[in-house]
Structure 1
Amino acid sequence: MAKTRPGVPSKIKTGRKELDSYTIKGTNKVVRAGECVLMRPSDAGKPPYVARVEKIEADARNNVKVHCRWYYRPEESLGGRRQFHGAKELFLSDHFDVQSGHTIEGKCIVHTFKNYTRLENVGAEDYYCRFEYKAATGAFTPDRVAVYCKCEMPYNPDDLMVQCEGCKDWYHPGCVGMTIEEAKKLDHFVCAECSSDDDVKKSRNGFAESPADDVKVETKRRKR
């Protein structure tokens, strides 16, 4: 079932009772309010919609309706997908809706950005969110994030970056004249601006952190 238009509330009939949970049709997976789900799109060629369940209700005939808050993919936003958007990135929108429980295909997890960068492996059900999105205006919260490298782009957790042991900034290998394979073989890295500084102390822990708010993880391409 397709999403309704932002700003157009769905009609809600009276006489409904609120449910604690709902078992996804054809499975033994139980969904509760506050959890995230995958919903069947109107176009079979598109990936499933992602929503956060706000409330579950049933009418006298036991038809289940799910009150949800949609997540948008970058390509669904007014600004479109940009280079720093990760493959599993979502925006929590202000677009609320009511859908039939039968449109739920499965469950998923939408992590915070920090928790996502801590994952050893990223599964098909793993996503992350670092922005809230206003569907009508295309505005984001927060409207500013930290940028890195010579290209001054926000961190994309799908990309490998190397940290300079002098200035502590992070760089994409391609932006400093290296291939990804060359970067993986380095024990340490010093950028061109810091390389002439004799006071820069070399350490062997150049890959112990990621740019994600100083979360300590291995910097490597994540499996999808």
Structure 2
Amino acid sequence: MPKQKAQKPQRKSYKLKHINKTIQEGDAVLMRSSESGKPSYVAKVESIDARGSNAKIRVRWYYRPEESMGGRRQFHGAKEVFLSDHYDLQSADTIEGKCKVHSFSSYTKLESVGNDDFFCRFEYNSATGAFDPDRVAVFCKCEMPYNPDDLMVQCEDCSEWFHPSCIGTTIEATKKLKHFFCEECAPQQQELLQNSNSTSKNGDAKVNSKRSLEASKPRNKHTKRSG
């Protein structure tokens, strides 16, 4: 009988000596770029094949917005990545460290964002450029999806959220608002209420970065294609 080739042992975890970290299936990792000056690639560990000190990692790549067919859009966060259908077998030596890819909801609740924190709200088909889901909720007059890095202010009447630039003001001025009513809800009262000296806690305008808005999610039900 022909001699069967010995299969490489599959492991659930593997110690990376060059960074003194242990990786496991399902971990998100940073992988060295082949191009000098480019940021590390983000990938998900699918499986680990090892024979002695020679380990191969099967990864599923996360794409950054600029790596997708549509490119980076206004609503894409600085730490946003897309889980793609692109798989590769890579040397474990190319892993530079571990990172964390949060769900969009979890990311918006972080008190602070570290260098190794990312978030994912879309899966991405690398062949067609399609996103799943292909529609997401939009907000403000500009009808754009959430960008967790942006500051927004909430109308006290309709509870819709707006970007300062879309309502003709600045971020600095928005942070000082005591009250805010959008043009549709109170066009005659908006300027008066914005300059009010009232310190009523219940009436204060809600001003937040989008990253902190998910806990009090806007009521806008419109949707827009994500691509």
Alignment TM-score > 0.5, same fold = yes
What is the CA distance between 1:205 and its match in structure 2?
5.7
Q: Are residues 203 and 64 of structure 1, via their aligned partners in 2, closer, same or farther at CA, if it must alter by over 3 Å?
A: same
Structure 1 or 2: more strand by fraction? 2
The one-letter code sitting in structure 2 at the alignment partner of 1:99 is: Q
Confirm whether residue 162 of structure 1 aligns to residue 178 of structure 2: no
Contact 2:180 2:205 in 1 (8 A): no
Q: Which has the larger radius of gyration?
A: 2
Which residue is equivalent to 2:41? Answer: 49
Over 3 Å off, 4+ runs: 207-214
Contact 2:152 2:208 in 1 (8 A): no
Contact 1:161 1:172 in 2 (8 A): yes
Which residue is equivalent to 1:137? Answer: 128
Contact 2:43 2:62 in 1 (8 A): yes
What is the CA distance between 1:25 and its match in structure 2?
3.5
Distance 1:207 1:194 in 2: 18
Which residue is equivalent to 1:207? Answer: 207
Which residue is equivalent to 1:24? Answer: 16
Contact 1:111 1:126 in 2 (8 A): yes
Distance 2:185 2:73 in 1: 30
Distance 2:208 2:34 in 1: 44
Question: What TM-score does the superposition give when structure 1 sets the normalisation length?
Answer: 0.83
Taking only the aligned residue pairs, the percentage that are identical comes to 59
Distance 2:71 2:187 in 1: 41
Distance 1:14 1:175 in 2: 64
Summarize the alignment of residues 65-84 of structure 1 with structure 2, pairs less than 5 Å apart: 65-84=56-75
Contact 1:113 1:212 in 2 (8 A): no
Contact 1:163 1:207 in 2 (8 A): yes
Q: Give the aligned CA root-mean-square deviation in angstroms.
A: 2.2
Question: What TM-score does the superposition give when structure 2 sets the normalisation length?
Answer: 0.82
Which residue is equivalent to 1:146? Answer: 137
Q: Secondary structure at the match of 2:169?
A: coil
Query: Greater CA deviation, 202-211 or 114-123?
Result: 202-211
Confirm whether residue 85 of structure 1 aligns to residue 81 of structure 2: no
The runs of 5 or more residues in structure 1 that have no matched partner are: 1-12, 218-224
Confirm whether residue 128 of structure 1 aligns to residue 115 of structure 2: no
What is the CA distance between 1:204 and its match in structure 2?
2.5
The runs of 5 or more residues in structure 2 that have no matched partner are: 190-201, 218-227
Equivalent pairs counted in the alignment come to 201
What is the CA distance between 1:213 and its match in structure 2?
7.6
Contact 2:151 2:208 in 1 (8 A): no
